[in-house]
Amino acid sequence: MAANEAAQKIRIAIDTLKTSNVRERPLVEVLGLSHQMADAMQAFFGSLDRSIISEFQYIADYIQKARDEIAGLQPNDIGNTRIPGASQELDAVVRDTERATETIMAEGERLMEMQPTDLTVYKAEVDAAMLRMFEACSFQDLTGQRIKKVITTLRHIEDRVSRFAGALGVTDGASKETAEEARNRELLLNGPAMNGPATSQDDIDALFA
């Protein structure tokens, strides 16, 4: 039975049921209409191409696989625990470096302002200030450990996202430039270069010679 023919029979059966008062019709008649409808639908689904059914099966399998991969990505763990944790570590790094810088600069400024009238007193003050500067430098150990934790988190996320993209065959789509990216491009805001300045001070000096 062709799809159009099946659809026509179903429509007729529904119209018949709609126009008649079902309660007043003999049960046998209603059952007959239902049977007619069921036959039409069975014929319709039976006429579906096997390749379409396998396409639906493929889509269903793909959705199941995507669900499994998303669960493996553990987005809630990343969003609720790992990213906030890394953010807190970086905040602590900024705080620690600021505190250490403040201590070291304050000690340096105090020494620069001192008048070495009594050399013994001056030497004792310098030694004490130097010790406080050394103590302040202990931030380097702590910030190193904190940054290592952040790097571990980033690697963890990178691994999961890469596995997810690989499993589902995801490729990068075109991304729209954000307002911040546009500002950075227009105003030549590139930030510090990796491994030292992109142009050395000597080369810059040559341009101004």
Partner 1 sequence: MAVDLSMQVLVVDDYQTMIRIIRNLLTQIGFKNIDEAKDGRQALEKMQGGRYGLVISDWNMEPMTGFELLQQVRATEALKATPFIMITAESKTENVIAAKKAGVNNYIVKPFNAETLKGKIKAVLGDF
Interface residues with partner 1 (CB under 8 A)? 98, 101, 105, 108-109, 112, 187-193, 197-201, 203-204, 207-208
Contact 116, 184 (CB under 8 A): no
Q: Which is nearer to partner 1, 28 or 207 (CB)?
A: 207
Please give the Cα distance from 167 to 65 (Å, whole number): 9
Q: Which is nearer to partner 1, 112 or 174 (CB)?
A: 112
Quick check: helix, strand or coil at residue 46?
helix
Please give the Cα distance from 11 to 59 (Å, whole number): 30
Please give the Cα distance from 126 to 191 (Å, whole number): 37
Q: Write down the least CB distance from residue 126 to partner 1, Å.
A: 17
Return the structure tokens found at 66: 């995507």
Q: Which is nearer to partner 1, 52 or 188 (CB)?
A: 188
131: left (phi over 0), alpha (psi -120 to 50) or beta: alpha
Q: Which is nearer to partner 1, 31 or 189 (CB)?
A: 189
Burial class (CB in 10 A: 0-12, 13-18, 19+), 159: exposed
Q: Write down the least CB distance from residue 65 to partner 1, Å.
A: 45
Q: Write down the least CB distance from residue 138 to partner 1, Å.
A: 19
Q: Write down the least CB distance from residue 185 to partner 1, Å.
A: 11
